[in-house]
């Protein structure tokens, strides 16, 4: 092949070996490592096929039946299918709920929700980031508004009890009474217990606020019906589709339709969220929908209704519980004392290991996780814990008994980090240097990494064979 034909028709591997080599290396990393980042998963071959399909080529601004471009006959049907299946996956009636499947990801979905529900500088209240909330719930520090949510809206956090690690609902109620938020957000990125949506609803009602549930982390568990659903109580629900739900990297917003409240005189007040949310997504914040991702949503929402998917989500929780039990048995502490979901927040203060060191040594032995603040942490910059999740490992087929081996690897890694820290002293840079420069340590790390990688390689990964 030559010229433009070569550019267009040659495979990636023939045309761009430099990039292909990097993609293959990443694939090898994924196969060899134990992926325990709680927000990650391995999506299915069918979703990956949607993502690299011809749908990627099409512009379709607007909604099905109301596009700004021609040629959208099939794109319309795909988007309607994605909407219908999204409602079915959460057992929602189209009379009571609608959805928008166009958000590019979770963060833009949330910004569209705020844009739809409140004025600029409207008040919102979400779980504080160091307590397990998400940046998009309005994170700011003493000196800086970090998230655009806190730049364009006024955010006041609620928090967890520093001792029990549980959300302090009484304090939230008290704070809400003073702050009078217009939106209360029920959603987590690092919290191992189910949320009390009924209590959230009561507090929202006391303040005439919307209840917005951001189920990004838990939407797979909710679809499978293995944890309580926010839909009974929320006005609006957003989600990512690539975490426990195991679909494409994208977002969905669900909104209530029909009667919102009935006044004392019997007059019905209707919801008007549908047009507000749809217009906030487009033309408010986004342009052309990512049709390849919308197809991925359609097929993942079909999968989410299957018995196999339910069994997968049950196993995700069983594995998280086994992981938790194994860690407790080895003497580690866990925030809230346990888990009801797909993640465990390990509090490393009692064993005197910093979150940063733990994350670093585990990465060195091919176990991926992230450092995280734990309830009561003094500094958000130097967190004392790590967050471990089971969705990705469960996709690869690991079961409770395998969690015992995983706990063994984590424990050996963490013990090694203590040995190294005893020599290196408190600075992280010294810790990293000694780990690599001291041959006794580097050999121990290398040997442990080989063991982890050999173990991990036995478990299959969905997708294409080598990329
Ligand atoms: C991951 C997450 C988001 C953001 O999703 P992105 O796709 O990373 O933008 C929003 N809210 C919560 C609770 C999340 O965990």
Establish if 280 belongs to a structural domain.
Answer: yes
DSSP H or E run through 100: strand 97-100
In sequence order, the β-bridge partners of residue 247 are none
Q: Which of 254, 279, 305 is the last residue of a domain?
A: 305
Domain range enclosing 218: 54-305
Q: Indicate whether 334 and 419 sit together in one domain.
A: yes
Q: Give residues (CB < 6 A) around ligand 1.
A: 39, 105-107, 110, 134, 136, 187, 189, 214, 216-217, 240
* Best residue for ligand 1 mutational test, from 113, 189, 234, 242 (most atoms within 8 Å of Cβ): 189
Looking at ligand 1, which residue's alpha carbon is closest to its atom 10?
106
pLDDT tens column, 248-297: 999 999 999 999 989 999 999 999 999 999 999 999 999 999 999 999 99
Q: Report how far ligand 1's centroid is from the alpha carbon of 240 (Å).
A: 6
Q: Report how far ligand 1's centroid is from the alpha carbon of 139 (Å).
A: 13
Q: DSSP string covering 339-364, please?
A: -SSSEEEEE-GGGT--HHHHHHHHHH
Beta carbons of 345 and 334 less than 8 angstroms apart: yes
Q: Indicate whether 236 and 267 sit together in one domain.
A: yes
Q: Indicate whether 378 and 288 sit together in one domain.
A: no
- In this structure, are strands 385-389 and 343-347 parallel, antiparallel, or unpaired? antiparallel
- The tally of domains found in the chain comes to 2
Nearest to 200 by CA among 245, 231, 227, 226: 231
Q: Report how far ligand 1's centroid is from the alpha carbon of 350 (Å).
A: 30
* Best residue for ligand 1 mutational test, from 40, 107, 212, 219 (most atoms within 8 Å of Cβ): 107
Tokens 């508004």, residue? 145
Nearest to 389 by CA among 280, 455, 313, 279: 313
In sequence order, the β-bridge partners of residue 268 are 262
User: Catalytic annotation on 436?
Assistant: no
The rounded distance, in Å, linking the Cα atoms of 467 and 460 is 14
Q: Which of 240, 271, 305 is the last residue of a domain?
A: 305
Burial class (CB in 10 A: 0-12, 13-18, 19+), 239: buried
- Determine the distance from the C-alpha atom of residue 238 to the mean position of all C-alpha atoms in its chain, rounded to a whole number: 11
Q: Indicate whether 76 and 112 sit together in one domain.
A: yes
Residue pLDDT tens, the chain, 467 long: 888 999 999 999 999 999 999 999 999 999 999 999 999 999 999 999 999 999 999 999 999 999 999 999 999 999 999 999 999 999 999 999 999 999 999 999 999 999 999 999 999 999 999 999 999 999 998 899 999 999 999 999 999 999 999 999 999 999 999 999 999 999 999 999 999 999 999 999 999 999 999 999 999 999 999 999 999 999 999 999 999 999 999 999 999 999 998 999 999 999 999 999 999 999 999 999 999 999 999 999 999 999 999 999 999 999 999 999 999 999 999 999 999 999 999 999 999 999 999 999 999 999 999 999 999 998 888 999 999 999 999 999 999 999 999 999 999 999 999 999 999 999 999 999 999 999 999 999 999 999 999 999 999 999 999 89
Establish if 23 belongs to a structural domain.
Answer: no
Tokens 């967050």, residue? 387
Q: Indicate whether 384 and 335 sit together in one domain.
A: yes
CATH number of the domain bearing residue 185: 3.40.640.10
Contacts of 231 (CB under 8 A, 6+ apart): 90, 92, 97, 213, 237, 254
Nearest to 349 by CA among 322, 326, 372, 319: 372
Q: Report how far ligand 1's centroid is from the alpha carbon of 313 (Å).
A: 19
Looking at ligand 1, which residue's alpha carbon is closest to its atom 5?
106
Query: Which atom from ligand 1 is nearest to the alpha carbon of 249?
Result: 7
Looking at ligand 1, which residue's alpha carbon is closest to its atom 8?
106
Beta carbons of 327 and 410 less than 8 angstroms apart: yes
Rg (CA), the chain: 23
Q: Indicate whether 268 and 129 sit together in one domain.
A: yes
Q: Report how far ligand 1's centroid is from the alpha carbon of 214 (Å).
A: 8
* Best residue for ligand 1 mutational test, from 136, 186, 234 (most atoms within 8 Å of Cβ): 136
> 57 by DSSP, 3-state: which?
helix
Q: Indicate whether 322 and 373 sit together in one domain.
A: yes
Looking at ligand 1, which residue's alpha carbon is closest to its atom 12?
216
Establish if 44 belongs to a structural domain.
Answer: no
> 379 by DSSP, 3-state: which?
coil
CATH number of the domain bearing residue 434: 3.90.1150.10
Establish if 104 belongs to a structural domain.
Answer: yes
Q: Tell me the two tokens of residue 265.
A: 């005189």
Q: DSSP string covering 162-211, please?
A: TTT-SB-HHHHHHHHHHH--SEEEEE-SS--S---HHHHHHHHHHTTPEE
Cβ-based neighbour number of residue 228 at 10 Å: 17
Q: Indicate whether 406 and 443 sit together in one domain.
A: yes
Q: Catalytic residue, from 242, 290, 292, 342: name it.
A: 242
User: Catalytic annotation on 190?
Assistant: yes
The rounded distance, in Å, linking the Cα atoms of 340 and 335 is 12
Q: Indicate whether 236 and 133 sit together in one domain.
A: yes
In sequence order, the β-bridge partners of residue 126 are 157
> 292 by DSSP, 3-state: which?
helix
Q: Indicate whether 169 and 258 sit together in one domain.
A: yes
Nearest to 99 by CA among 215, 225, 184, 204: 215
Q: Tell me the two tokens of residue 117.
A: 């529900």
In sequence order, the β-bridge partners of residue 210 are 183
Q: Report how far ligand 1's centroid is from the alpha carbon of 107 (Å).
A: 6
Q: Catalytic residue, from 50, 99, 190, 300: name it.
A: 190
Q: Report how far ligand 1's centroid is from the alpha carbon of 6 (Å).
A: 39
- In 3-state terms the chain splits into helix, strand, coil percentages (rounded to 5) of 50, 15, 35
Q: DSSP character for 160? A: B
């Amino acid at each position: 092949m030559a010229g433009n034909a070569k550019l267009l028709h040659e495979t990636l591997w023939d045309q761009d070996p430099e990039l292909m080599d990097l993609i293959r290396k990443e694939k090898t990393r994924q196969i060899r490592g134990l992926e325990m980042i709680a927000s990650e998963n391995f999506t299915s071959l069918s979703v990956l096929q949607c993502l690299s399909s011809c749908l990627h080529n099409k512009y379709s601004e607007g909604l099905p039946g109301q596009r700004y471009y021609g040629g959208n006959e099939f794109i319309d049907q795909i988007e309607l299918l994605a909407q219908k299946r999204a409602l079915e996956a959460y057992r929602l009636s189209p009379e009571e709920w609608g959805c928008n499947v166009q958000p590019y990801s979770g963060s833009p979905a949330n910004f569209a929700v705020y844009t739809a529900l409140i004025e600029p500088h409207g008040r919102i209240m979400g779980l504080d980031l160091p307590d397990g909330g998400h940046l998009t719930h309005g994170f700011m520090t003493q000196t800086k508004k970090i998230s655009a949510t806190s730049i364009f809206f006024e955010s006041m956090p609620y928090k967890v009890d520093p001792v029990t690690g549980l959300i302090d609902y009484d304090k939230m109620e008290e704070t809400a009474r003073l702050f009078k938020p217009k939106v209360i957000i029920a959603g987590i990125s690092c919290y191992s217990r189910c949320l009390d949506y009924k209590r959230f609803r009561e507090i929202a009602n006391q303040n005439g606020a919307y209840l917005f549930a951001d189920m990004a982390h838990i939407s797979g568990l909710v679809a499978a019906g293995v944890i309580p659903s926010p839909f009974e109580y929320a006005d609006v629900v957003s989600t990512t589709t690539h975490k426990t739900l195991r679909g494409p990297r994208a977002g969905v917003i669900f909104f209530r339709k029909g009667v919102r409240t009935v006044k004392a005189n019997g007059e019905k007040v209707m919801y008007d969220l549908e047009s507000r949310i749809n217009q906030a997504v487009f033309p408010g914040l986004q342009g052309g929908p990512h049709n390849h991702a919308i197809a991925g949503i359609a097929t993942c929402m079909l999968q989410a209704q299957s018995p196999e998917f339910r069994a997968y989500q049950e196993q995700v929780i069983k594995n998280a519980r086994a992981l938790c039990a194994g860690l407790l048995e080895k003497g580690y502490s866990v925030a809230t004392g346990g888990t009801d979901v797909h993640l465990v927040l390990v509090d490393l203060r009692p064993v005197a290991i910093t979150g940063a060191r733990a994350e670093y040594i585990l990465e060195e032995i091919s176990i991926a996780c992230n450092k995280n603040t734990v309830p009561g942490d003094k500094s958000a910059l130097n967190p004392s814990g790590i967050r471990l999740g089971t969705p990705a490992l469960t996709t690869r087929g690991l079961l409770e008994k395998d969690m015992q081996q995983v706990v063994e690897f984590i424990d050996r890694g963490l013990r090694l980090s203590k040995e190294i820290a005893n020599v290196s002293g408190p600075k992280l840079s010294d810790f990293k240097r000694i780990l690599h420069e001291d041959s006794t340590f580097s050999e121990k790390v290398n040997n442990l990494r080989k063991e982890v990688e050999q173990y991990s390689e036995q478990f299959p990964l969905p997708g294409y064979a080598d990329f």
